[in-house]
Amino acid sequence: MSESKKYLTNKEIIPELEKYKKTGVASEKFGEQLLLLARNLSHKSNFIGYTQDWKEDMISLSVFMCLKYSKNFDTEKSGNAFSYLTKIIYNSFQSYLNTQKKHSNIKKECYNRKDFVPENPYISIDYQSLKRWDELVDKNKKEINVKCAKCGLIQKQEYFINEDGKEAKMHSTNYSCIQCKGTTTKI
């Protein structure tokens, strides 16, 4: 396949796909075709805003998924291998992005709750433990009034009673006055 070629047709894909189905070994040409399909799809508006590292990972995953599932394509039922492979690539892109979004959400939650996350690096944190933590906090939550030492503003802050019966702050950041950023004390 020449370097300047920017698109593929079913007439080019189907013979290579049939060879792959018979031998179980993907030819160089079939690999280049899959890469071309994946790269072209990565330039669509759905995926244009992602970093080059993510796109490379998405392309790699999609080529792997094409090799895994292209054996299921039946030329007797459909002659549109282009559409079949493009859909596999699109679905693998979506799968990759969903996985990354889930990991980003977990990282964000752990960062937001860094005071509540155990210091032990061998303890895993997942959504279930964060959910149980939220239920515990909601059950034992209370509000207290605090006063700013600098400007005298009185405001409410959320605390909860932990298992030891001691008060603990709800968030990892230190509370400060919303008006002057001064230090607050419990009234």
Q: What is the DSSP string of 57-91?
A: HHHHHHHHHHHHHGGG--TTT-S-HHHHHHHHHHH
For 21-44, what is each residue's pLDDT tens digit? 999 999 999 999 999 999 999 999
The per-residue pLDDT for 107 is 80
Q: Which residues contact 9 (CB under 8 A, 6 or more apart)?
A: 82
pLDDT digits (tens, 9 = 90+) for 46-55: 998 999 999 9
Asked if residue 155 lies in contact with residue 126, where contact means CB atoms within 8 angstroms, the answer is no
Q: Which pLDDT does position 172 carry in this prediction?
A: 40
In angstroms, the Cα distances linking 65 to 44, 89, 98 are 19, 7, 16
pLDDT by 10-residue block (mean), the chain, 187 residues? 71 93 94 95 92 95 96 90 96 96 82 63 67 70 78 76 59 63 76
Tokens found for residue 65 = 């998924």
Q: Which pTM does this prediction carry? A: 0.64
Give, rounded to a whole angstrom, the gap between the first and last alpha carbons of the chain. 76
Domains of the chain: 10-111 (1.10.1740), 140-186 (no CATH)
**Distance between CA atoms of residues 29 and 8, nearest Å:** 12
